[in-house]
A = this chain, B = another copy of it.
């Protein structure tokens, strides 16, 4: 599982999942370009199935199961988009999915996972409970554990978003993605450098969950202790695998304040007329905070997802 994938693996993943995913549009906004002094190209994975890039990785993993594994099904623990993505990809393939969720997960996410037919086991909301409940479940069912990011098949799937972006727009100076557990930025970096080593890969991370920034700077894997950011998709910490890829392929990690995340999120909603979750706004927040670094540049941004509770907006 923990092998570092290469560019060819991402090309293969793309061929594999292409019939099952949305080829999401790449959108631009003249007014955001004017505000930032850049040319931005947003790859809209909020418009992907289940509303997040996670469907790419989950599909790539599901489609590589052998017959014996297909019979046992897949399992994961997640309170977020990976759970919904795995549930839908499994359902489409006629495979059983088991999801361990903390009992305090948002009602809307429980409903989404259930609507895709996954079997949910609730546990107390601690990492220990999630892991032990999952272990127990796997022992009972024999299901294959599909980790949300510490898994090279998942990383390859996530990298296909940047691949499509660069196939659409090949003269970018920089490609950016947010970093949480590191699956998206790892796949993005392998795809981008595989196509053109001259293109820079920038990761963007909330200050309040800056384990990737600190790890990158120190050269040692330093997990977050109590991450507390509005960007709920980015509270996870890097794994050994994603850290290795990031050290090797990412050019820079920029951190941003909570205020900038909300400002950038609102800017995208107002000017682009698309719904993005806070995590998706983190790269634009970095451009707003570090504007000189981006002046005059052509920047591709992976918009990671659009799953927000409309009754509970930060503006």
Q: Footprint of B on A, CB under 8 Å?
A: 25, 27, 30, 46-47, 49, 51, 266, 269-270, 272-276, 306-307, 310-311, 313, 315
Q: How far is the CB of A83 from chain B (nearest CB, A)?
A: 16
From the candidates B25, B30, B276, B311, name the one contacting A49 in the complex (CB within 8 A).
B30
Most B CB contacts (10 A, CB to CB) among A25, A49, A311, A315 go to A25
Does A47 lie within 8 Å of B273, measured CB to CB? yes
Does B30 lie within 8 Å of A47, measured CB to CB? no
CA distance A30 to B276 in the complex (A): 19
Does A269 lie within 8 Å of B47, measured CB to CB? no
Report B-chain residues with C-beta under 8 Å of the C-beta of A272.
Answer: 47
Report B-chain residues with C-beta under 8 Å of the C-beta of A49.
Answer: 30
- Beyond A310-B266, A315-B310, whether A273 also contacts B51 by CB under 8 A is yes
From the candidates B270, B306, B311, name the one contacting A273 in the complex (CB within 8 A).
B306
Q: How far is the CB of A231 from chain B (nearest CB, A)?
A: 17
Q: Which 8 A-B pairs have the closest CB atoms?
A: A273-B306, A25-B25, A273-B275, A46-B273, A51-B273, A274-B274, A47-B273, A269-B310
Q: How far is the CB of A309 from chain B (nearest CB, A)?
A: 10
CA distance A276 to B269 in the complex (A): 11
7 additional A-B residue pairs with CB within 8 Å, beyond A270-B310, A273-B306: A30-B49, A47-B273, A47-B274, A51-B273, A273-B275, A274-B275, A311-B315
Report B-chain residues with C-beta under 8 Å of the C-beta of A266.
Answer: 310
Q: How far is the CB of A312 from chain B (nearest CB, A)?
A: 11
Report B-chain residues with C-beta under 8 Å of the C-beta of A30.
Answer: 49
Report B-chain residues with C-beta under 8 Å of the C-beta of A315.
Answer: 310-311
Name which residue of chain B comes closest to A30, CB basis.
B49
